[in-house]
Amino acid sequence: MARNRKLIAKQLFTLPAYRWIFVCIFATLFALTLYAITHQFIPSPTWYALSFKLNIGFTILMASWFYYMLILNPASLTEAYKRYYKWFVIVSAPAIFYFLGYVTIIYSIGHIVGNFSGTPHTIHDVMQKQSVESKRGCKTRLVGKSLQHALPPHFCITQTSFNQLPQEIAVRLVGKQSYFGFTLDYIEYDWEKTLKLYPNTLILSTLTTLP
């Protein structure tokens, strides 16, 4: 019995010597994903298209590397993991790398580089209030056309502001514009435009209900 335990212990899966490089890359991707979630960035169409292609190549590279390390000792891998977990890891690995690479390349790298290379810029937009039932993130927010491709695609506001603001409000998105996209620093309410906009909105909404 003791001999069998020793054999199983010897067969447990061990990664190659350069495993720490792979682990560090994965940890960096995870950290940059968290960075992207906490720093709002709107990628430019050019950077988005280029990043999509870069991410495909990155996913193929990382998935191939991951599979190579698994193939090095398949017998030990079978002993280390249950069969269903082994197949789950194998099948889901490319999707995990694609997701992490997608967020990291497009949003994290775009935000970091764009923050250094960008110039001050302001985007004018009309945003709408939105209330959602969510356990994660804010429940009261502003959404608009400018933030459709941002991460996150909304701007959080307090419940007090939500109650006081009209349904639609003109805003100024202040930040930096670069080749990579727009780095959002903060949002200003444009009360002058809102006063002109809101009555017109009411008239249009009334006209749409007429026969």
pLDDT band at 193, cuts 50/70/90?
A: confident
pLDDT band at 99, cuts 50/70/90?
A: very high
Based on the fold, state whether residues 79 and 12 are members of the same structural domain.
yes
26: CB partners within 8 A, 6+ apart: 100
Instruction: Out of 117, 135, 159, pick the residue that ends a domain.
Output: 117
Residue 132 is predicted with a pLDDT of 81
Based on the fold, state whether residues 6 and 100 are members of the same structural domain.
yes
Give the total number of structural domains in the chain.
2
CA distances, 22 to each of 64, 87, 168, 181 (Å): 12, 20, 48, 30
Query: Cis omega (within 30 of 0) on the bond before 166?
Result: no
Instruction: Out of 117, 133, 162, pick the residue that ends a domain.
Output: 117
Query: Nearest 5°: phi and psi at 154?
Result: -160, 170
Residue 17 is predicted with a pLDDT of 52
Based on the fold, state whether residues 95 and 135 are members of the same structural domain.
no
142: CB partners within 8 A, 6+ apart: 127, 128, 129, 130, 154, 155, 157, 169, 171, 187
Residues forming beta bridges with residue 184, ordered by sequence position: 175
Q: How far, in Å, CA of 67 to CA of 88, rounded?
A: 13
Q: What percent of the chain has pLDDT over 90?
A: 25
pLDDT band at 107, cuts 50/70/90?
A: very high
Based on the fold, state whether residues 87 and 180 are members of the same structural domain.
no
Based on the fold, state whether residues 12 and 111 are members of the same structural domain.
yes
Residue 88 is predicted with a pLDDT of 67
Residue 57 is predicted with a pLDDT of 92
Based on the fold, state whether residues 32 and 69 are members of the same structural domain.
yes
Residue 53 is predicted with a pLDDT of 92
Based on the fold, state whether residues 86 and 128 are members of the same structural domain.
no
pLDDT band at 204, cuts 50/70/90?
A: very low
Based on the fold, state whether residues 106 and 127 are members of the same structural domain.
no
Instruction: Out of 117, 144, 168, pick the residue that ends a domain.
Output: 117
Residue 202 is predicted with a pLDDT of 47
What single DSSP character describes residue 104?
A: I
118-148 residue pLDDT tens? 889 999 988 888 888 776 678 888 888 888 8
Based on the fold, state whether residues 107 and 198 are members of the same structural domain.
no
Based on the fold, state whether residues 100 and 178 are members of the same structural domain.
no
R_g of the chain computed on alpha carbons: 24
For residue 98, give the nearest of 68, 53, 136 by alpha carbon: 53
One DSSP character per residue, 28-70 reads HHHHHHHHHHHS-EEE-HHHHHHHHHHHHHHHHHHHHHHHHHH
22: CB partners within 8 A, 6+ apart: 15, 65, 66, 69
Based on the fold, state whether residues 142 and 178 are members of the same structural domain.
yes
pLDDT band at 180, cuts 50/70/90?
A: very high
Based on the fold, state whether residues 102 and 131 are members of the same structural domain.
no
Residue 8 is predicted with a pLDDT of 43
Tell me the residue range of the domain where 36 lies: 2-117
54-79 residue pLDDT tens? 999 999 988 888 777 777 666 555 55
